[in-house]
Amino acid sequence: LFYEIYASYQYIFVFQVFTFPSASRQPISVPSVFVNDLLKKFDPLSLFQIPLRLPQQSAVIEIFAGERMLKIRRHKMRKHKRRKRYDRDYFKYQKYHRQKKAKAENLFRNRMHKMLEDYKAFDPEKYIKDIIACAKQNVTKDVSPSGRRKYPHWSTLITLEELYGLPPTDYIVKKAGLAGDEDREKIRQLKKEYDEKYRGFLNRTSCSLEKQVNKEKQEYLQKAKIQEKETVDSNINLEKNTDKVDSAENSDNVKS
């Protein structure tokens, strides 16, 4: 491009003849042809020209990943601070890890010592005797027919006085809270009155349901009986018709 511009200027200024001013002055004009050529060489085509806009005129684009960008930024800052803290307290962290490993090793050693003590105190003869006694034990005694184990009732293991923390000199009469014959009859009568007064609707509904069920059963039985009678009658009619047809055929055969 530079060489082309230089050649065009050389073409303009070399071949143009300059003279001194005289009486007959020629009008001087801009060489339009050459300027247009230069402009064409300087300016690109209009198709390839990009329009220039001010920043205020450009549309504002909303960033949808704003929250995500904040999270990434926060994560980076935390990582940076963590690395700075680790570099600053490097020896403190090393000391903490050494103490942690020493503590774990001490716990492991203590556990191994306890296991060794158990191994030393192990008596094989006693172990075999316990196994034989366990094998001789009758397991079906404390098991119900369904296979579930029977657990004893608390009354067989502890007394009522011990349960309430009473001294051994005290005694609780077990039948003291039971009602007598007269009181039992009164309680039964009161219970009956309560049921009739407050639970009568339950009995009424149950009775009505029973009546409805019985009625439906009777209707079903009656229908079944009627169907049986109809089937029996139809079978009898079929037998009669077949007998008539057979007798007619036999009479025809005899005549022939």
Q: Dump pLDDT digits (tens) for 9-58.
A: 555 455 566 666 676 777 776 655 555 566 555 556 666 667 777 667 66
Rounded to an integer, what distance in angstroms lies between the CA atom of residue 72 and that of residue 80?
12
Residue 161 and residue 171 in contact, taking contact as beta carbons nearer than 8 Å: yes
Pick 212 or 249 by higher pLDDT: 212
Helices (H), 57-138: 66-88, 90-120, 124-136
Distance from chain centroid for Cα 158: 48
Q: Is the separation of the CB atoms in 168 and 174 below 8 Å? A: no
**What pLDDT is recorded for position 7?**
55
80 pLDDT exceeds 90?
yes
Reply yes or no on whether the pLDDT at 209 is more than 70.
no
Q: Which ranges in 121-199 belong to alpha helices (H)?
A: 124-136, 154-157, 160-163, 181-198
- Take residue 200 and report the two structure tokens written for it: 């009568």
Instruction: Report the pLDDT value the prediction gives residue 119, as an integer from 0 to 100.
Output: 93
pLDDT category, 216, cuts 50, 70, 90?
A: confident
- Tell me the CA end-to-end span of the chain in Å, nearest whole number: 138
Average pLDDT over residues 231-240: 76
Mean pLDDT of the chain, nearest integer: 78
Cβ atoms within 10 A of the Cβ of 102, count? 10
Q: Given its phi and psi angles, is residue 57 left (phi above 0), alpha (psi -120 to 50 degrees) or beta?
A: alpha
Token duo for residue 91: 């020896």
Two structure tokens written together for 52: 């220039």
pTM, two decimal places: 0.29
Tens digit of pLDDT for each residue in 97-118? Answer: 999 999 999 999 999 999 999 9
- Torsion over CA: 224, 230, 234, 240 (sign): positive
- The total of other beta-carbon atoms located within 10 Å of residue 12's CB is 13
Looking at mean pLDDT, say which of 38-52, 160-174, 229-243 comes out highest: 160-174
* Cβ atoms of 185 and 193 closer than 8 Å: no
Q: Which of 73-77, 83-87, 230-234 has the lowest mean pLDDT?
A: 230-234
Task: State the pLDDT at residue 75.
Answer: 95
Most confident by average pLDDT, 60-74, 113-127, 163-177, 224-238: 113-127
d(CA 171, CA 167): 9
Sign of CA dihedral 48, 54, 55, 56: negative
Rounded Cα distance between 92 and 100, Å, is 12
Token readout for 119 is: 């191994």
pLDDT the model gives residue 201: 58
> What is the predicted pLDDT for the residue at 61?
75
